């Protein structure tokens, strides 16, 4: 139909679509009785296996943001961006061992429910409304936009709106069946995205080998990358000096070396994996051991992700620098699509299927979380208190449709300006503004019995205000060099503090404020959770998974430090 995709590519994609659709319908038909049980519909309570939980976590996490955005950061930064994935595995260990037991012991099904149970109804309602806006107008829109742009480029560049609607409808088809359908179709989705992603990386490396005269060999191609771009294989971005170029400064602003590990990256990961309805929902309906195993399985899969979402970006950089990638357009965010053009007929269709799987799984998971929060935390409590089980399921489906419709409308002509700043930056910027306050509120709420509801409300507001202050105004108000930070020229006539450092500072002062306010309350807040050491004990097989994951991460850092 066009010069980019041949009949075989379309055939591969159609087969993928049919397999996912038929499997999803089979799961839905078997579990149709879930329509009489709201918690089964929203959470697949008691029905998910550990491998379904782990695969669903990864499928929901890996989307166009990673395929396009993180590959672009691989083009720009190199392997340093892999820290997001490898430290996510460590964050998942922390969540599995310490966070999930607290949620399950206290029968927490949604994040607003956690806030109501631990703090008060006002905090829960404020955050429920905020999360709905964030999920619809930041996450859904950016995933849909990036995905449609990427696939449209491969399909000839003339079908943006058709692809956008197609992605939305495909995600609706899956998500209307409830969490069980979402989670089990995610098993197929994650298999497709891993296989397709690894194939793309393999072709990228063999293409590098071919252009540089070492043969069509992936290992030889990888050695070429290390030889031609040694700076792209360093985990730590050096701190700029007076003689640093703007490019070196821009890299540090994006990922500020060791300070990233001291400050922001832990807050990003622990907040995302431990305090996020979209993610934790997969494990909240399972028993503790199943949930833990599934989360740790997801952590081990995260170790593979840089091979899929970052390595093609580095390959694109080396090819582009040596004049072998003239088809690269749109800067770093065009790196992944440019590499896909090297794939032979058929495999290109598999890679499009992998990209589609990542996008659709994320969209389906996100709208399921939106419908869960809206139905259980807003509609049932404040609008239709007498709603029965089947009514709640129907309300959830209406919420799914409404959320996706809004996402399509706001993405149609890029009303939100996602294309201008880049999807990866867009998501990180707007979610990062609230991460310090939300994580502080959850962390203290779980593990410090003295934390009060007043402190929680102050914390989430203060965290946001401080994030805006440090990111947008601090250099102008307090100068470029202080005891707390150093601001650097951003090449646009202004100075910026690296984003991760802003996040760390916001988190520190928010925690301090919450602790001081809580000291004005009782020593043990009446709403504090009961915690005992038995909750956090792990079985030997769990310990083995944790040790294996940590040893692999240590080996990777020793190699690429």
Residue 34 vs residue 440, higher pLDDT: 440
Sign (positive/negative) of CA torsion 537, 541, 544, 546? negative
d(CA 406, CA 412): 10
pLDDT per position as a tens digit, 172-201: 887 777 667 776 777 777 788 788 888 889
| Average pLDDT score, the chain | 86
pLDDT per position as a tens digit, 108-130: 887 888 999 999 988 888 888 88
Q: Which of 52-56, 319-323, 413-417 tops mean pLDDT?
A: 319-323
For residue 150, the model assigns a pLDDT of 76
Q: What is the pLDDT averaged over residues 48-76?
A: 82
Q: Is the pLDDT of residue 54 over 60?
A: yes
Contact 370, 281 (CB under 8 A): no
| Helix, strand, coil distribution of the chain in percent, nearest 5 | 75, 0, 25
Q: How much is the CA Rg of the chain, to the nearest whole Å?
A: 23
pLDDT band of 406, cuts 50, 70, 90:
very high
pLDDT band of 2, cuts 50, 70, 90:
very low
d(CA 160, CA 166): 10
For residue 246, the model assigns a pLDDT of 93
What whole-number percentage of the chain has pLDDT above 70?
92
Look-up of token digits 């310490």: 98
d(CA 552, CA 561): 14
Partnered with residue 189 across adjacent β-strands are: none
Residue 96 vs residue 263, higher pLDDT: 96
Contact 270, 510 (CB under 8 A): no
Locate 50 and state its tokens: 């550990």
pLDDT band of 36, cuts 50, 70, 90:
low
pLDDT band of 421, cuts 50, 70, 90:
low
Q: Which fold has domain 7-415?
A: Sodium/glucose cotransporter (1.20.1730)
For residue 3, the model assigns a pLDDT of 47
Locate 152 and state its tokens: 């449209």
For residue 41, the model assigns a pLDDT of 65
| 528 φ/ψ angles, rounded to the nearest 5 degrees | -65, 145
530: helix, coil or strand?
coil
pLDDT per position as a tens digit, 68-98: 778 888 999 999 989 989 999 999 999 999 9
* Range with the poorest average pLDDT among 141-155, 236-250, 307-321, 383-397: 141-155
HSE-CB at 164 with a 13 A cutoff on CA atoms is: 24
* Range with the poorest average pLDDT among 96-100, 419-423, 448-452: 419-423
Q: Which of 99-108, 210-219, 511-520 tops mean pLDDT?
A: 511-520
Look-up of token digits 């480029």: 153
Q: What is the biggest distance separating any 2 CA atoms in the chain, rounded to whole angstroms?
A: 72
Residue 33 vs residue 399, higher pLDDT: 399
Q: Is the pLDDT of residue 208 over 90?
A: yes
Q: Is the pLDDT of residue 155 over 80?
A: no
d(CA 274, CA 142): 22
Look-up of token digits 């080996």: 555
Q: Is the pLDDT of residue 314 over 90?
A: yes
* Range with the poorest average pLDDT among 207-221, 307-321, 323-337, 389-403: 323-337
For residue 554, the model assigns a pLDDT of 96
d(CA 42, CA 28): 13
Q: Where are the domains of the chain?
A: 7-415
Residue 421 vs residue 128, higher pLDDT: 128
For residue 99, the model assigns a pLDDT of 93
Contact 236, 77 (CB under 8 A): no
Q: Is the pLDDT of residue 1 over 60?
A: no
Residue 448 vs residue 193, higher pLDDT: 448
**363 burial via Cβ count (<10 Å: 0-12, 13-18, 19+):** buried
d(CA 543, CA 555): 18
Q: What is the pLDDT averaged over residues 526-539?
A: 88
pLDDT per position as a tens digit, 493-507: 899 999 899 999 999
Query: In 421-503, at which residue ranges do the beta strands (DSSP E only) sit?
Result: 488-489, 495-496
67: helix, coil or strand?
helix
For residue 37, the model assigns a pLDDT of 59
> What's the angle, vertex CA 503, arms to CA 502 and CA 506, rounded to 5?
85
For residue 109, the tally of other CB atoms under 10 A from its CB is 21
Q: What is the pLDDT averaged over residues 150-170?
A: 82
Contact 118, 528 (CB under 8 A): yes
């Amino acid at each position: 139909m066009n010069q980019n995709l041949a009949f075989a590519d379309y055939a591969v994609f159609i087969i993928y679509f049919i397999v996912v659709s038929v499997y999803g319908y089979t799961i839905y038909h078997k579990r149709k009785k879930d329509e009489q049980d709201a918690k089964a519909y929203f959470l697949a309570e008691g029905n998910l296996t550990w491998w379904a939980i782990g695969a669903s976590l990864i499928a929901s996490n890996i989307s166009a943001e990673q395929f396009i955005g993180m590959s672009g950061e691989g083009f720009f930064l190199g392997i340093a961006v892999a820290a997001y994935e490898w430290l996510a595995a460590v964050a998942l260990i922390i969540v599995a061992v310490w966070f999930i037991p607290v949620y399950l012991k206290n029968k927490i099904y949604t994040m607003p429910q956690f806030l109501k149970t631990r703090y008060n109804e006002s905090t829960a309602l404020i955050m429920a409304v905020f999360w709905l806006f964030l999920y619809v107008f930041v996450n859904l829109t950016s995933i849909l936009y990036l995905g449609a742009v990427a696939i449209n480029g491969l399909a000839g560049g003339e079908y943006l709106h058709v692809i956008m609607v197609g992605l939305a409808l495909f995600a609706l088809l899956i998500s209307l069946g409830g969490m069980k359908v979402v989670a089990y179709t995610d098993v197929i989705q994650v298999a497709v995205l891993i296989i397709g992603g690894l194939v793309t990386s393999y072709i990228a490396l063999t293409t590098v080998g071919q252009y540089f005269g070492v043969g069509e060999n992936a290992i030889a191609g990888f050695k070429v990358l290390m030889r031609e771009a040694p700076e792209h294989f360093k985990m730590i971005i050096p701190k700029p000096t007076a003689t640093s170029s703007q490019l070196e400064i821009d890299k540090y602003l994006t990922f500020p070396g060791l300070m990233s590990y001291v400050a922001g990256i832990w807050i990003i990961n622990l907040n995302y994996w431990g305090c996020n309805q979209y993610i934790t929902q997969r494990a909240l309906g399972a028993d503790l051991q199943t949930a833990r195993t599934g989360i740790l399985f997801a952590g081990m899969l995260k170790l593979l992700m840089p091979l899929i979402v970052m390595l093609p970006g580095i390959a694109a950089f080396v090819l582009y620098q040596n004049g072998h990638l003239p088809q690269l357009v749109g800067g770093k965010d065009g790196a992944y699509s440019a590499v896909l053009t090297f794939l032979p007929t058929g495999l290109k269709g598999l890679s499009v299927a992998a990209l589609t799987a990542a996008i659709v799984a994320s969209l389906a998971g996100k709208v399921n979380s939106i419908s869960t929060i809206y139905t259980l935390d807003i509609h049932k409590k404040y609008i239709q208190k007498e709603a029965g089980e089947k009514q709640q399921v129907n309300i959830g489906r209406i919420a799914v449709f409404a959320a996706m419709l809004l996402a399509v409308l706001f993405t149609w002509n890029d009303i939100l300006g996602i294309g201008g700043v880049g999807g990866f930056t867009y998501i990180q910027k707007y979610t990062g503004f609230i991460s310090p306050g939300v994580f502080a509120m959850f962390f203290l709420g779980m593990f410090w019995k003295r934390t009060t509801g007043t402190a929680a409300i102050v914390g989430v507001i203060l965290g946001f205000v401080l994030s805006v202050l440090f990111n947008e105004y601090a250099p102008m108000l307090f100068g470029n060099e202080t005891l707390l930070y150093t601001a650097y020229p951003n090449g646009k006539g202004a100075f910026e503090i690296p984003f991760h450092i802003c996040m760390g500072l916001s988190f520190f002062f928010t925690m301090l404020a919450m602790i001081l306010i809580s000291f004005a309350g009782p020593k043990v807040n009446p709403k504090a959770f009961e915690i005992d050491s038995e909750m956090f004990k792990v079985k030997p097989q769990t310990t083995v998974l944790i040790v294996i994951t940590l040893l692999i991460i240590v080996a990777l850092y020793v190699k690429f430090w």
